[in-house]
Amino acid sequence: MKKIVAYSLTLLVAVSFASCKVDDPFVDRVVAPVLVDIVGASFGSPISAEPTVRYPATGGVVLTARLLELDKTNILDNAKGIDSIPVPNIPIKITLRTGSSLGEVTSNAQGIVSLEKSWAELGVPAPAVGTTIKISWSGSYKGVAFTRLSQVQAR
């Protein structure tokens, strides 16, 4: 009799733990409505977490990105595949990760946004080789907000 009570109690505890809902500790993610391709980054950067563009330590920095919408209509047709369509007229706010605004630009007909800044405007008056500045590109498309992270590095 004691064994039946012990097994029943164990089963009851196991079922009660299995039925508990546990909140996911991670933030829900929504797929970005556009691909923000950082121009000048090394190959593979559109899919890497933080593409880095290297600029000479003397002179200016031209922050450039291409905004593309991925048309997956023909994803199963190997002769056509996924098409990348430039997204015009999207306002993009470019900021430092500290929160300082660098400016707001709008994509042109080719989906390109570009902003020219000096190293001093990026917060580094005299950059040394290897100095890295972290940048955020934020916007909204079709009602979905997105942010792309990148880096600028002195060479």
Q: What's 59-110 look like in SS3?
A: CEEEEEEEEEEEECCCCCCCCCCCEEEECCCCEEEEEECCCCEEEEEECCCC
- Ordered domains of the chain (ranges, CATH): 26-154 (2.60.40.10)
Sign of CA dihedral 40, 45, 47, 48: negative
**Which of the residue ranges 21-30, 72-81, 125-134, 137-146 would you say has the lowest mean pLDDT?**
21-30
pLDDT over threshold 90, residue 5: no
Cα separation, 16 vs 37, whole angstroms: 48
Mean pLDDT, to the nearest integer, of 93-108?
94
Q: How confident is the model at residue 87 (pLDDT cuts 50, 70, 90)?
A: very high
3 state SS of 39: coil
Identify whether the C-beta of residue 17 lies closer than 8 Å to the C-beta of residue 10. no
Cα separation, 84 vs 67, whole angstroms: 9
pLDDT over threshold 90, residue 90: yes
The distance between the two most distant Cα atoms of the chain, rounded to a whole number of Å, is 85
Q: How confident is the model at residue 50 (pLDDT cuts 50, 70, 90)?
A: confident
Q: Which amino acid is at 75?
A: I
Mean pLDDT, to the nearest integer, of 7-35?
65
Q: What per-residue confidence (pLDDT) applies to 47?
A: 62
Cα separation, 133 vs 124, whole angstroms: 9
Identify whether the C-beta of residue 102 lies closer than 8 Å to the C-beta of residue 95. yes
- Is this structure's pTM higher than 0.75? no
